[in-house]
Structure 1
Amino acid sequence: MPKTKPSREAAQDPAWSVPSLREPRYSQSLARGLAILGCFTPAQPVLGISDIADELGMSRSTTHRYVTTLVALGYLEQDAQRKYRLGLRVTDLGMSALNSMGLREHAHPYLKELRERTSYTVSLAVLDGTEILYVDRAKSFRREQSKIELDPNPGSRLPAHCTAMGKILLAFLPESEQRERIAQMTLAKKAPNTITSKSALTVELEQVREEAFAVNDQELLAELYAIAAPVRDHAHETVAALSLSAHSSMISLEGLVDALGPHLIATADRISQRLGYRRADEASGPRS
């Protein structure tokens, strides 16, 4: 007769805490890893191996193996006292989930409208760690579009430092968080004009924040231009970035900025209004 009741030790195992997870089609290892993340709360933000092991009823050696893996993946961080706290990867995922909830539904009609008005590709993205995550895209129907080697879809990721949308999203972070993100970057050279200096990137982001407008001048790919503007929500937070992009054979960078920049900004503002943003209520205030 098959064993249907777990032992006392197994009964404490997080993989047994939800009855459905006992089925073979679920990963108990994943359940244990997520249970470890769930141990960290506002009331206990810092924990040691023993704390986690005792709370979940797992052996210390097993707990250490899971925790070490989570640290390597960026979901946990170890401090000088060999204690652990949630890593930025967890924060980034949470923010990405919150920021993108309903965002595509609100924005999609405006992306299509801007694409029809300008004939260029329109994209919407959020920040996820040191990368941008594409939420939506309305691709240009023009033949010249095929000259662009890169064709990201919703769910695709690109480095933030060499994209116009990434610059917008980095520029409007609180200063301390912006410094942390930049510190994690390698700033790999992707194209002729990629910014590879962290100090130069910081200076550029200051200008982007001041102008609420960003440009990609062949920084991700040669012969690719893009411009971007912020999308804000009811709390005046920059939750996404909207961009127009084109191959250099389609339009000059100056033409993209001067002729189409106002249309991009107006569309980003309309999406922001759908999210509850009201420009008249905005207060600049100091960054924290």
Structure 2
Amino acid sequence: MTQAASGDFSVSLERGLTILSAFGASRPVLGIADLARIAGVTKSTAHRYVATLAHLGYLQQDPDTRKYSLGPKVADLGFAAIESMDLTRVAAPLLQSLADETGFTVSMGVCESRDVVYVDRRRSGRRNVLAIDLNLHVGSRLPAYCTALGKAILAFRDPPALRQIIERSDLARRGPNTITNREQLMAALAKVRQTGIAVNDEELAPGLRSFAAPIRDRTGEVIAAVNVAVHLSAAPASLEALTAQIEPHLRRTAREISQRLGHRSED
């Protein structure tokens, strides 16, 4: 076992971590003898480390076999590490893959009060067919009520908080199909909650359609959304046909990003 020359190095901590690291997919259950051999210590020493780790919840013992497996506290450590990751770093390769698959511009955004803030934008490396860009870039802000990204997040807010956001939004008309009635917007958001997909059909700007799906963290909370934007000049198909074309890729990408953030869906 390698020991650092520095006096700050803790051999006991190193051995405890070595014991935890011994468990894995190929070795989910281990006995004291196995752990002593892996850690390079005697059985009695290994037993002291294991007893301490079990007491703290990092290991758990099977009462029948007397062998050990990882405990719930290890999962907590893993989730803490996942949550500390930068969302954009986790999502970046998946967003680029979605852009390349569909051939359209892909964005990811978060909601701040009544606005959606763009935190990533990816263009397709295969082709650039989106004729309208609205000068959007990372850091751009738009009203949440008339964007697919915003609606995909707002739909999953707690009802009182959502009602307050809607009441404070001016619902100004920005495109030919902007929803300017608060009750109609609430109904549209209820549909998003039901389907899991938000659609912007020329609500933000003439000729622009976009489709968005929510991104969830490990607790199931919607923390962001990913969308695919399409201009009618590039894809004049009906809304239904375009939805059928994009939706499977969009759902998969949102699900994979959520999984990388620790979310485990029921299905």
Q: Please tell me the TM-score bracket, short chain as reference.
A: 0.5 to 0.7
How far did residue 140 of structure 1 move? 3.8
Residue 135, structure 1, aligned to residue 119, structure 2: yes
Please point out which of 177, 181, 205 is paired with 2:165.
Answer: 181
Instruction: Say if 1:232 and 1:128 are closer, same or farther in 2 by CA, change over 3 A.
Output: same
TM-score (norm 2): 0.65
Q: Secondary structure at the match of 2:266?
A: helix
| Structure showing greater relative contact order (alpha-carbon pairs closer than 8 Å, 6 or more residues apart) | 2
Residue 257 (structure 2) aligns with:
271
1:86 maps to none
| Number of aligned residues | 182
- The residue type paired with residue 182 of structure 1 is I
Residue 149 of structure 1: how far off its partner (Å): 4.8
1:262 aligns with 248
Q: Is residue 208 of structure 2 the alignment partner of residue 224 of structure 1?
A: yes
Q: Unmatched 5+ residue regions in structure 2?
A: 1-82
Per-residue CA distance 1:92-140 (angstroms, 9 max, x = gap)? xxxxxxx996110100000001111111111100001101000101024
Distance of 1:131 and 1:222 partners within structure 2: 20
d(CA) in 1 for partners of 2:175 and 2:99? 26
Rg comparison, structure with higher value: 2
Does the residue aligned with 1:241 lie in a helix, a strand or coil?
strand
Higher helix share: 1
After the TM superposition, which parts of structure 1 deviate over 4 Å for at least 4 consecutive aligned residues?
Answer: none
| Percent sequence identity over aligned pairs | 44
Aligned with 2:150: secondary structure? helix
Residue 256 (structure 1) shift: 2.4
What is aligned with 1:209? 193
CA RMSD of aligned residues (A): 1.7
SS of residue paired to 1:193:
coil
Cα distance in 1 for residues equivalent to 2:84 and 2:110: 7
> Partner residue of 1:121?
105
TM, length-normalised to structure 1: 0.61
Structure 2 Cα separation of the partners of residues 143 and 232 of structure 1: 29
CA contact (8 A) 1:168 1:214 kept: yes
Corresponding residue number in structure 1 for 2:221: 237
Residues 1-288 of structure 1 mapped to structure 2, 5 A cutoff: 102-140=86-124, 142-145=127-130, 147-251=131-235, 252=237, 253-280=239-266
Is contact 1:168–1:230 with CA below 8 Å preserved after alignment? yes
Unmatched segments (≥5 aa) in structure 1:
1-98, 282-288
- Cα offsets for 1:189-228 (capped at 9, x unmatched): 0010000011110010111111111100000011101001
